Structure 1
């Protein structure tokens, strides 16, 4: 899990998140804060943080409008998304959700060099992270959006985790390391760490 800086930045309208120049500036801010020298890494990490926040309310409430024109976004000083306020409701939420993600992922991939496919995979894992208690909701959303791979889960003891298909690349920062559930870990090591996390056995 990525530990994010405290809130204390500025607020912008959601359409800013689709502006390549605005995104590029936020990636420079994030890269500086996390001591990252590769914009591809910064772009992936920025979207890992942003998608988890942007998708929270829409995943839990099918009436929430996820469209960029209906968002007010609060930023951290490092350029990452801290909070989102939704100002409307949507009759057809899933198409609006797909369009919101597409409008950010396409320019973000362009300015950062990250692959769109990788950013969509991050999106699936963000959705899955909000659906640990309701995996059917994750299946509903990802099945209706062609760009999204299917979500995966793993139960360890009595606790459920996302079996991540994406990597946030935070380990490329000299001030961070691999996440516990990182897909880059050997499966046996990852399972052992997750078991230790829930107290099934000593870590």
Structure 2
């Protein structure tokens, strides 16, 4: 599979490797269609369980989707942000997993035709596999997808130096994808109006041994979340 223009996109985005737009020289490359296989997904969930010493399939599948979705949506979102179409279709994608099974990069090998329709098709297929493998309701997984889209566009906006313009792509894209994908939301914090994703989902990572609650977790009280975000905004700003 060629990179379908992704190398050109990566060249335009500072820190493209850290954003998962450049496949690292290590790890295993997985063809996109495998991500929609419930059996393969169940193996990844079990592998994650060994790492975290947990047998809670629902939590493990949710954590897996949280890490996978962020990487999976990056090529088409980077394409939107830079004006170079990159397909989100599973047959056009390859994913790199590190030795421990962590998704770190996704490469698209073709341009998109209809980015919203193709992204919906991909999300439906992979969410279906994760839901089956983890006995998870699909709705929370769609909410995680929304937050991954919002977070990735925010990271791309920061990298490109235009947070406002890039995050403005989130709402129209989600609306075009359609329900059950919730609308992405952002909140500006502090005197410098540092932008963060206003989460619609919980990754459930805190349910695993020795793992913390995320700074922006929707399970925190609004006051606690605001204080933590203000502290983060001060450090970022």
Q: TM-score, normalised by structure 2?
A: 0.78
Matched with 1:46 is 64
Q: CA deviation at 1:198?
A: 2.0
| Map of 1:100 onto structure 2 | 122
Quote how far apart the aligned CAs of 1:173 are: 1.3
Do the aligned partners of 1:36 and 1:172 also contact (CA within 8 Å) in 2? no
Query: Equivalent residues in 2 for 1:1-203 (5 A)?
Result: 9-62=27-80, 63-132=85-154, 133=163, 134-145=166-177, 146-157=179-190, 158=192, 159-199=194-234
Q: Deviations over 1:150-198 (max 9, x none)?
A: 1111111221000101001110111211000000111100000111112
Equivalent residues, number: 194
The CA distance in 2 between the partners of 1:105 and 1:164, in whole Å, is 18
SS state at 1:199 partner: helix
Q: Going by fraction, where is helix more abundant, 1 or 2?
A: 2
Q: Given that residues 26 and 80 in structure 1 are in contact (C-alpha distance below 8 angstroms), is that contact kept between their aligned partners in structure 2?
A: no
Structure 2 unaligned spans of 5+: 1-23, 155-162
Q: Is 2:75–2:87's contact at 8 Å kept on the other side of the alignment? A: no
5+ residue gaps in structure 1?
A: 1-6
The superposition leaves residues 46-93 of structure 1 with CA deviations (integer Å, 9 ceiling, x where unpaired) of 111111111112112141111111111111233231111111111211
Alpha-carbon distance, 1:131 to partner? 2.5
Kindly indicate whether the alpha-carbon contact (under 8 Å) linking 2:75 and 2:107 is maintained by their aligned counterparts in 1: no
Quote how far apart the aligned CAs of 1:35 are: 2.5
2:187 match: secondary structure: strand
Helix, strand or coil: the match of 1:83? strand
User: Retained in 1: the 8 A contact 2:27–2:98?
Assistant: yes
User: What secondary structure sits across from 2:71 in the alignment?
Assistant: helix
Q: Give the root-mean-square deviation of aligned CA atoms.
A: 1.4
